[in-house]
Structure 1
């Protein structure tokens, strides 16, 4: 566990590269906007340095290092692939990883205009990802579990930001998810944290998926929730037509999880408006738009 937050600067990134990977130290280094648990620095045109910042455990980056090289070759969208590693040191007491750069604009700063294409692209990506995970895959702990196991998290976000006029229907959708039968198949690979800041877009459609720190073996409903969070109005129905392995219980769980994730985005937006650490002011409207799509039902 690493508790200290360290200020990361261009000079620090370059100094670390000189120490561990001097052949990369001469490439241009520039900060990438966003990030919370980790901070990204663009390294040249094709690489990025992922610097642990607020995350208090090494596990998330170590998980990406272990599994992304295995998963990336069979996924139909670009994902970051770890290439070089950095260990904690006196100069920087956390870990860092040099990864391939995934080109595009994060969706929370961009938009999808080719909704049908994006829905089909998301479905193809998730069908490729959602295969049975090996026995040594990271277990579902919170993320990847049944919604019933996440009721405390839902209640926290609900109490913080749920619009009073929608409280009843929000609880109804969540209740349906909690009451839904659990996933009956084998645990599959799950990204676990698909929201607008963790995908990139280009040419009006999805162009890549990033931040696999929540990767685990679990319930695919956690990723199907992204149909409401990422796609414009009408996109969820097209997605569900294209994702061939869906069932009614999984959709119920996914819709409830989409409500919780929408409330999370709204909570981060509120924190930003209040000037609290880690707040993202522009996530509030993103979350509210997603919530409205969820509450409209499967048509999104």
Structure 2
């Protein structure tokens, strides 16, 4: 397989700039407008997930619509190109719909994807196998952008439902970790295309058999250790993965990132991301407030040593 770019250039992508008065329409209306722009039927559209991005299903088209804030146009464009590049290199991944995309609407950007059949979260071993295949690829000819472990953390903290003193502490932690990242990592694996958010919810199983790679918003170029650290953190920090599962993960991939000198920095960056994600969404969903504060307390040494019990934010 080669790595040539088989995706239309950005100039060919569909752009629709809706009048300012449409900026206040509801999410469902945006789904209808964006779908109509590319000739898709949004009748009976169903919401799948509402968080930083809005995910909707078009049952009449077996298509999924992903709405993201418009400042993520570059990321949305890259996601589509990455998915097509992965398919060209025989990596099982979610497939972009054959429409002119992404579509811009006032303050949102929409992308369209073929609906994945009935599926479930993959296994920890699936994550290892998927990452091994992905990291073996020569990076694509188009620009992926450099990995940024701290993307949107300041914005999350600005919106977080936290005591001001805790917010200041997290901002200081962010500054410290960012300085360490800027100073450079210890020698490690060769930088490659990385998924950026590799966990079993983004490497799913279809019919209990083959895995499929999903969600390329954080796809970039950087150290493969960033992808590997996700499972290590879910073992050593949150307790979501057992030690035996982690041993199998390392066996499948052929590398244990926790033995690398740079692991502590990546682990702390991931812990910060998980904490600020919970804190941001607790501002609009009070049922997450206890978990958000618990994560802050853990980072601040108020809850004993790792692993901590961090249930997922749904």
Distance 1:161 1:238, change over 3 A: farther
Q: Structure 1 residue 137 and structure 2 residue 127: aligned?
A: no
Q: Structure 1 residue 97 and structure 2 residue 107: aligned?
A: no
Counterpart secondary structure, 2:98? strand
Distance 1:59 1:253, change over 3 A: same
Which residue, out of 213, 235, 242, partners 2:217? 213
**Quick one: distance in 2 between partners of 1:92 and 1:179?**
39
Q: Which residue of structure 2 aligns with residue 42 of structure 1?
A: 57
Q: Is the 8 A contact 2:95 2:113 kept in 1?
A: yes
**Quick one: distance in 1 between partners of 2:72 and 2:124?**
34
Q: Which residue of structure 1 aligns with residue 280 of structure 2?
A: 271
What is the count of residue pairs matched by the alignment?
Answer: 261
Q: Is the 8 A contact 2:58 2:65 kept in 1?
A: yes
Q: Is the 8 A contact 2:34 2:103 kept in 1?
A: no
**Quick one: distance in 2 between partners of 1:153 and 1:222?**
17
Unaligned ranges ≥5, structure 2 = 1-16, 158-165, 235-239, 308-314
Unaligned ranges ≥5, structure 1 = 113-117, 144-149
Q: Structure 1 residue 223 and structure 2 residue 238: aligned?
A: no
Counterpart secondary structure, 1:84? coil
Q: Which residue of structure 1 aligns with residue 82 of structure 2?
A: 67
| Structure-1-length-normalised TM-score | 0.65
Q: Which residue of structure 2 aligns with residue 20 of structure 1?
A: 38
Cα distance, 1:103 vs. partner?
4.8
Cα distance, 1:20 vs. partner?
2.6
Q: Which residue of structure 2 aligns with residue 146 of structure 1?
A: none
Q: Is the 8 A contact 1:104 1:207 kept in 2?
A: no
**Quick one: distance in 2 between partners of 1:30 and 1:281?**
27
Alignment of 1:46-125 (within 5 A): 46-53=62-69, 55-72=70-87, 74=89, 77-86=92-101, 92=106, 94-103=108-117, 118-125=123-130
Cα distance, 1:227 vs. partner?
1.1
Cα distance, 1:120 vs. partner?
1.8
Cα distance, 1:43 vs. partner?
1.4
**Quick one: distance in 1 between partners of 2:89 and 2:107?**
34
- Larger mean CA deviation between 5-14 and 209-218 belongs to 5-14
Cα distance, 1:121 vs. partner?
0.9
Cα distance, 1:212 vs. partner?
0.6
Alignment of 1:184-203 (within 5 A): 185=190, 187-194=191-198, 198=202, 200=204
Distance 1:51 1:274, change over 3 A: closer
**Quick one: distance in 1 between partners of 2:198 and 2:294?**
13
Q: Is the 8 A contact 1:68 1:80 kept in 2?
A: yes
Q: Is the 8 A contact 1:30 1:42 kept in 2?
A: yes
Distance 1:133 1:76, change over 3 A: closer
